[in-house]
Amino acid sequence: DIQLTQSPSFLSASVGDRVTITCRASQGISNYLAWYQQKPGKAPKLLIYGASTLQSGVPSRFSGSGSGTEITLKISSLQPEDFATYYCQQLNSYPPTFGQGTKVEIK
Partner 1 sequence: QVQLVQSGAEVKKPGSSVKVSCKASGGTFSNHAISWVRQAPGQGLEWMGGIIPTFGTANYAQKFQGRVTIIADESTSTAYMELSSLRSEDMAVYYCARGRFPGEWLSSHDYWGQGTLVTVSS
Interface with partner 1 (CB under 8 A): 1, 32, 34, 36, 38, 43-46, 49-50, 55, 87, 89, 91-101
The CB-of-16 to partner 1 minimum distance in angstroms stands at: 28
Indicate the residue among 55 and 63 with the shorter CB distance to partner 1: 55
CB of 64 to partner 1, least distance (A): 12
For the chain, the three-class secondary structure string (H helix, E strand, C coil) is CCCEEEECCEEEECCCCCEEEEEEECCCCCCCEEEEEECCCCCCEEEEECCCEECCCCCCCEEEEEECCEEEEEECCCCHHHCCEEEEEECCCCCCCECCCEEEEEC
Residue 20 or 93 having the CB closest to partner 1: 93
Q: Which is nearer to partner 1, 40 or 80 (CB)?
A: 40
